[in-house]
Amino acid sequence: MRGEIIGQKGDVLTVKLFDELDIKEVKKQAVDGRYYVYVDVFEKDSITDLQRKHFYALCGDIETYTGYPLEAVVSKLKVQFMEEEGLTEYPSLAVNQMKKTVASHLIEYVILYCIHNDIPFRKQQFYLSTDINKMLYALMMKKICWVTGKPGADLHHAVNLVGAGNNRKKFNHLESKYMRLSREAHQEAHAMGLEEFC
């Protein structure tokens, strides 16, 4: 249960609840007619509810695609992440158990896992990554559109274009910058111009 401490007088603490209190459930836990609680102060740099939702949404995408149960997907990814990051303990997504930065790395790990294993996203969640360049590179190598997430994307010259009249075989492509775009997005980028498209 979440809340905010709004006052303290001696050993009496006043808490404003953010979540609804299920009084029937509380009464079931009474000890000699008294109700005991454990107060844990939320750490500012702890994993957020939104990060937790993103992680489980991505795991849900993997579950949908592979058919493996969600619990198995979550467990497998946590163990693989733990090994890759050199963690000594199984990562917990509970409040105050994981730092925001570690949660960001975990989400990035799962996004890369999906990209490398051709697992489609229900929602385009590449923006969740802390290292967008790493994501865009992975999408580039797997030929996935940066805008739509569709596979089989075209290579779009974004900067230092080949242009009409240039010989593609003699053109120095190392001086260009590229994007992966679906056929529709590629045509739209050419029609609008890069600045307006982006």
The pLDDT tens digits for 139-155 are 888 888 888 878 888 88
Helix (H) or strand (E) run with residue 33 in it: none
Strand partners, 15: 5
Residue 168 pLDDT exceeds 90: no
Residue 174 pLDDT exceeds 70: no
Domain boundaries, the chain: 1-39, 44-142, 143-198
Please give the model's pTM, rounded to 2 decimal places. 0.63
- The CA R_g of the chain, rounded to the nearest whole Å, is 24
The DSSP string of 98-114 is: SBHHHHHHHHHHHHHHH
3 by DSSP, 3-state: which?
strand
State pLDDT tens for residues 5-42. 899 999 998 999 988 988 888 888 889 989 888 777 77
For 164-177, what is the mean pLDDT? Answer: 66
Residue 193 structure tokens: 């111009």
Contact, 139 vs 180, CB < 8 A?
A: yes
Phi-psi region of 16 (alpha: psi -120 to 50; beta: other; left: phi over 0): beta
State pLDDT tens for residues 66-120. 999 999 999 999 999 999 999 898 988 887 789 998 999 999 999 989 988 988 8
Task: Determine the residue type at 153.
Answer: A
